[in-house]
Amino acid sequence: MPLKIYQEDATDELLDKAKRLLGRSGEKKLVFKAPTGSGKTIMMAEFLKQLVEDRELRQPLSFIWTAPRPVLTKQSKKKLENYFEESRALKCSFFEDLDDRKIGENEILFFNWESINKKDNIYIRDNEQDFNLSKVLEKTKEEGREIVLVIDEAHHHATSEISQGLIAMIGPKLTLEVSATPVLQGDEMANVDLEDVKTEGMIKKAVVLNEKFVNLLKKGKIESDLSGGSEGLVIKAALQKREELLKAFQKEKTNINPLVLIQLPDRIGQLEDTMKDRVIRILKDKYKVSTENGKLAIWLSGEHVNKEEVENSDSEVEILIFKQAIALGWDCPRAQILVLFREWHSPIFSIQTVGRIMRMPEPIKGHYDNEVLNYGYVYTNLEGIEIKEDIARDYITIHPSKRRDDYSPINLLSCYSKRQREKTRLSPFFIELFLKEAKDYGLKKKIDTKAKKLDIKVFSDWKAENIDVLAGKMIAGDKEIKVSAFDSQRLFDFFTRKSLREGEVFLYPEDRSAGRIKEAIYKFFETAFKMRRGEQEDEVVQIVLSEKNIQHFVNIIDKSKVEYQKEIAKREPELVFEDNWNIPESLTFGEDYIEEDRKRSIMQPFCSGSRWSTEKAFIEFLDNSKNIEWWFKNGDRDKTFFAVPYEESGLKKPFYVDFIVKLKNGKIGLFDVKSGITLKVARSKIDGLYNYVLEQNKKGKNLFGGITTNTDQRNYRGRWIYFNQISKNLKENDFSNWQTLEL
């Protein structure tokens, strides 16, 4: 799966900060905060690959990767091995795999942090074989390599006294602490934003707590109608939701079988056995779900039943009984419902609690059109639930709101922005274009592979660029200049970055784009001359930069950029349009919202957050109108909510109006509420909304609206009015050409 935009951004940030820290004296720490489900391991794998391939780092490195559990350690090693399979950028090893009892250059030693923390561990204590961590580190450092230590799920163990002592013994030049909820500060920090992960469709939009049961927030704790209910009632609610999800997946024509997770308390003893037996009996007697028919799996200490293929999307297993301790680091994207009982060890919800049901089952596809599939669901009879950590508060919702049953489709044309990495960076597609242009140009026949003399003219403005360590060096003369392999790579970096320039502007300013040009050139030499990157990389660079060949590569890069821009303009519109947008079937709201009794709201219950007083007054006005069938408070993100197109500074953007109002006579109003200084709204938005209404009415719609305000902007006791003209007719502090909103 190609890296998502936020993953590429994160790896770029990690590389930049890691290089900066490695260049400083002393031991440094870099904290990497990334939400559960964002693909931390893949981002780390790409970052490590870029780090060892970066020619600016002259210091040879060896790596140690630690994780808190054996299962997670093995899982991480397998993921990284798969990621490095083609590039062979790094070697992944356990202790027993090490050659000559040392960590090689660009080799990662994996071990389970908890087990090695034990003083009697074979890899810690002295032994006859003289094979322990201390000796491994000693031999590794003797060969001049620095250690980079990666601590995965760092919040589990990095703070203990033993752990700090172990880190001190390892003496890493750079420590990377990776966690969704880091507990320590570092010299630098890289962060992945939760909203970016949601936007890319990697994780669900939210987790709904006790859907269809009233949830009330009292003194920071959530009380639910399901609190105190029986295990049977909780299981019934969860299985009803599973059936709903299964039918929705079938309509999507996908073979995903949604999984219910029943999490037992993380304790040992009679309580666990009693609860497990009670749950198994309920499932078998009432729902015909059992281990015998393959619909129930059990994953407990010493008891594994039907677990082998439970992670598969089409597994027959419908319910898995497990414990939190085993769940750490476990990935099962089809898991969508979590059941917790009142005997659970804590009423505090953390991000780890719901982490198992956050992933989307098909991350390439992202979110589904049917919103019910884009959420996770928790059912529990816990009392006095607390939500821990900011990230969990942003994720768990306690106020589900449903569209009224009397709703009839309005089928409006709507739009939303699509993030366009291709317009700010060269994508892998550039490599295809480069190879095609090279073939059409006849590049293979035109270049001289024996030419190694540098073209000095290309580097005449090197000093002005001040691009790296060679800046300011004199590069002149008409004789062949002998430079080291390291310096030739610097020249190659300069050449590729310079090729991205259009006049004084960098067309694609990111370092990744320069790297894409290098990839294209290496790929050409591999296909045309069987010269492999790594083995003959320096020779390739000398051939490219030679005065006989360099202009040919300038020509191909320029032609490829032109074709790239044409292709991206065709394939990547600035806005994506939806012909038949309708009010969402459901929305969810967190603990910062309160439920209000608003009888004309199309969403029930109506959930109110912090809003401007103008919006509150407008809602009061709408809800008391006898001519309104319903109203909808619109949101301002992605394709879930309604937006009209407008253009500003040559860019097309979506304008999310505040309210959509359906009148009993069939007309639909689109209103964006303003007051005071906010009346000076961008005129381009006014024109966008005006043109939208005009064009859609020509196509048979019955729309009206515009920016809206009250003539009494202090107490909102005046007339509600709206402006339905083009922006050039808008007069400051003059409402004479506004229309009275008669509802």
165-208: pLDDT as tens digits: 788 889 999 999 998 878 777 899 999 988 889 888 999 988 88
- Where is pLDDT greater, at 398 or 158? 398
Per-residue b or e along 149-179, where b marks 16 or more CB atoms closer than 10 Å to that residue's CB: bbbbbbbbbbeeeebeebbeebebbbbbbbb
Q: How far is Cα 493 from Cα 169, in angstroms, rounded to an integer?
A: 38
- Please give the domain boundaries of the chain with CATH numbers for all domains: 5-196 (3.40.50.300), 203-397 (3.40.50), 422-571 (no CATH), 582-740 (no CATH)
pTM tops 0.75, yes or no = no
Question: Taking 60 as the threshold, does the pLDDT of residue 101 lie above it?
Answer: yes
Share of the chain above pLDDT 90, in %: 44
Return the minimum-mean-pLDDT range out of 51-55, 237-241, 389-393.
389-393
- CB hemisphere CA count around 354 (13 angstroms): 30
Question: Taking 70 as the threshold, does the pLDDT of residue 344 lie above it?
Answer: no
pLDDT digits (tens, 9 = 90+) for 183-195: 777 899 999 988 8
pLDDT digits (tens, 9 = 90+) for 477-533: 333 444 555 567 778 877 887 788 764 444 555 566 777 898 899 899 989 998 876
Return the minimum-mean-pLDDT range out of 392-396, 489-493, 559-563.
392-396
Question: Taking 70 as the threshold, does the pLDDT of residue 725 lie above it?
Answer: yes
Residues 6+ apart with CB under 8 A from 374: 204, 205, 360, 367, 368
Q: Are 148 and 27 in contact (CB under 8 A)?
A: no
pLDDT band at residue 328, thresholds of 50, 70 and 90? Answer: low
Q: Are 302 and 272 in contact (CB under 8 A)?
A: no
Give the mean pLDDT of the chain. Answer: 83
Q: How far is Cα 211 from Cα 487, in angstroms, rounded to an integer?
A: 62
pLDDT band at residue 26, thresholds of 50, 70 and 90? Answer: very high
Chain-centroid distance of CA 389 in Å reads 19
Kindly report whether the peptide bond that precedes residue 605 is cis, defined as omega within 30 degrees of 0.
yes
For residue 182, the 8-state DSSP code is -
- Where is pLDDT greater, at 400 or 632? 632
